[in-house]
Amino acid sequence: MNAAAARFLSPSEAARQLGISAKALRLYEERGLIAPGRTPAGWRAYGPAEMARGAEIVALRALGLGVGEVARILNGDAVVLGRVLAAHEAALEARIRQCGDSIAKLRRLRADLGGGKMPATGDIIGAVRTRPAIGVAFDLPWPWGGERFELRDIKRLNYIVGPLGSGKTRLAQRLAEALPGASFVGLDRAADGGAAVRARLDADPAHNARVAASLATLLADGAVDSPALTALLAALEAGDDAILVIDMLEQGLDPASQEAIVAHLRRRGPEARPLFFLTRSNAILDLDAVGDDEAIILCPANHSRPICVTPVPGAAGYEAVATCLASPEVRARTEGTIAWRPS
């Protein structure tokens, strides 16, 4: 191989160097974000220009952006970029405030120590944590056999995944019961074409304004206005601090809206309340875009105890999660298909 040829990488080599999967790299090509060259034999080849482009895509995705948002920014959309930078700035400022609070607590503890007072263990833990720890434990409902389920250090975004009949909806409902002040948002959220939701919003101007503001942001990000999207935003913008457990986040949403809503949720600050949502859409749960403050909970098909899955190929449960996910087009064909308990 000559020196010029050595500068070009195969898809697997390029993906490995970029720190993503070959599947993600192919997705970026399909969406027009990157255009690899071709060898004389017709194989894809990634040279310096393509790798630089790939690095830009990966960096933007690390900000929690959807593929559509990345495309618009790379195409010079200043409005989208400005909104993304503002959200990132707000998140950094929130972290600075958290660090400032922690530093103040640590200084008080050191002052107490200097005065001969031993701090309580709870005060020490509160000083070193960047946010209050949230955990939950309960006995699993049917179709499990009452095994104990524990979830500690709950993340900001928590995906619940599993094949049909795996019990994921029952797990979600049990989570909503066990978590203090949590609410379960079911598939009936947009019943009657969203008429009930619209009536509630009309009766509450402040709530309506919050939903309208979020909807405007999502529409600018490529989402499509629909009763399903409005109903989802009505739950998310209810104005309280309740943890939400949402059944099938993608319900009634087109692909662009699915990407936009996930990007929107990722842009929330580090102090935002945790969210749980069921999904089987790879536009909602992109395994190559899962951040440090996100978790995947898998309900296995054999009804063994649900597990947290690390989004790394080869990790326990990773392939099972991947096989549960489908494109929005496939999900649209199977929407409404359910499994039921035999009589």
- What is the mean pLDDT of the segment spanning 29-48? 91
What residues contact residue 158 under an 8 Å CB cut-off, 6+ apart?
Answer: 274, 275, 276, 277, 294, 295, 296, 297
Whole-number average pLDDT of the chain: 86
Dihedral of the alpha carbons of 167, 169, 172, 177, in degrees to the nearest 10 = -100
Cβ partners under 8 Å of residue 21, min gap 6: 15, 287, 288, 313
Model confidence pLDDT, tens digit, residues 61-76: 877 777 888 888 998 9
Q: Which of 98, 93, 119, 14 is nearest to 58 (CA)?
A: 14
What is this structure's pTM?
Answer: 0.74
User: From CA 244, how far away is CA 249, in angstroms rounded?
Assistant: 11
What DSSP state is assigned to residue 85? H
- Render pLDDT for 225-275 as a digit per residue (tens, 0 to 9): 999 999 999 999 987 778 999 999 999 999 889 988 998 898 887 678 899
d(CA 63, CA 85): 9
Classify domain 3-61 by CATH number. Answer: 1.10.1660.10
What gap in Å lies between CA 306 and CA 141, rounded to an integer? 12
**CB neighbours of residue 178 within 10 Å:** 14
* Number of other residues whose CB lies within 10 A of the CB of residue 13: 14
What are residue 184's DSSP bridge partners? 245
Task: Estimate the crossing angle of helix 78-114 against helix 67-74, to 10 degrees.
Answer: 110
pLDDT 10s digits, 110-166: 888 888 888 887 777 777 665 555 688 999 999 998 999 999 878 999 999 999 999
CATH match for 136-334 among 3.40.50.300, 3.30.70.100, 3.60.15.10, 3.40.30.10: 3.40.50.300
Res. 80: pLDDT tops 90: no
Contact present, 323 and 253 (Cβ < 8 Å): no
